[in-house]
């Protein structure tokens, strides 16, 4: 099962991807997480991605395509793959089609999370993440119980790109480059629109209905 999560930064893709991985065993693949890890480790790839990420622009297609290619090759024995944050533009979507076809796989479902524009910015400004296990928190709706991560007691931090200026750039990039994917996938008939403004559990129940074939 190949599942793609689509929506603006802060729409809840990452939280839902983690829940899908835990419940269904699909391999969670977040290009953003992979790039942040590459930067932390100081790899060549991380060095190439750093400035684009810091300014809220997209990193080069060839970098993220190579990351996804590796994950598809590592899929053996897994029940599925969750793509979180890839593709981000039509060129990447075309590359994804080619990679899947090469491995005789197909995209089964695209979930699009609709969240009102005015809520997105507030969500991103309130977002925090565990620096160790990457668990997501939101200081308004889902804060850590004490100042440390609930899951692993790691330090809870604000992501470097969750600041006003970078958020503005990321939302512009989303509108210009990623939003056209809605049409792209609507035409393919695989798109399911979800109300991403609902509670995490409610959104996940909707997703589960699709993944179990009940919807």
Measured CA distances, 178 to 57, 88, 170 (Å): 12, 5, 10
Active site residue 128: no
Residue 205 CB, shortest distance to ligand AMP, in Å, is 24
Beta bridge partner(s), residue 6: 112
- Peptide bond preceding 87 in cis form (omega within 30 of 0): yes
DSSP assignment, residue 176? I
Active site residue 13: yes
Answer yes or no whether residue 46 interacts with ligand AMP by CB under 6 A.
no
Measure the CA–CA gap between 180 and 89, rounded to whole angstroms. 7
Answer yes or no whether residue 35 interacts with ligand AMP by CB under 6 A.
yes
Answer yes or no whether residue 144 interacts with ligand AMP by CB under 6 A.
no
Active site residue 123: no
Q: Which is nearer to ligand AMP, 58 or 156 (CB)?
A: 58
Strands, E, within 42-190: which ranges? 81-84, 109-114, 127-130, 136-138, 156-157
Active site residue 88: yes
DSSP assignment, residue 102? H
Q: Which is nearer to ligand AMP, 54 or 205 (CB)?
A: 54
Q: Which stretch binds ligand AMP (CB under 6 A): 51-59, 103-111, 129-137, 138-146?
A: 51-59
Q: Which residues bind ligand AMP (CB under 6 A)?
A: 9, 31-32, 35, 52-53, 56-59, 64, 85-88, 92, 161, 170
Q: Which residues are catalytic?
A: 13, 88, 127, 159, 170
């Amino acid at each position: 099962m190949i599942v793609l999560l689509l929506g603006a930064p802060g729409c809840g893709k990452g939280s839902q991807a983690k829940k899908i991985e835990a419940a269904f065993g699909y391999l969670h693949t977040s290009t953003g997480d992979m790039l942040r890890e590459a930067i932390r480790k100081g790899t060549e790839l991380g060095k190439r991605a750093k400035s684009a990420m810091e300014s809220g622009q997209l990193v080069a297609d060839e970098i993220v395509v190579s990351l996804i290619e590796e994950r598809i090759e590592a899929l053996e024995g897994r029940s599925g793959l969750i793509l979180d944050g890839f593709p981000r533009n039509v060129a990447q979507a075309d590359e994804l089609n080619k990679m899947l076809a090469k491995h005789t796989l197909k995209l089964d479902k695209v979930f699009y999370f609709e969240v009102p524009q005015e809520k997105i910015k507030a969500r991103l400004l309130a977002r925090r993440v565990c620096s160790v296990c990457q668990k997501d928190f939101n200081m308004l709706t889902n804060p850590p119980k004490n100042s440390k991560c609930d899951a692993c007691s790691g330090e809870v931090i604000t992501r470097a790109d969750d600041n006003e200026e970078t958020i503005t750039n990321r939302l512009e990039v989303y509108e210009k480059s990623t939003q056209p994917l809605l049409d792209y996938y609507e035409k393919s008939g695989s798109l399911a629109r979800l109300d991403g403004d609902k509670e995490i559990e409610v959104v996940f129940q909707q997703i589960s209905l699709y993944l179990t074939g009940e919807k």
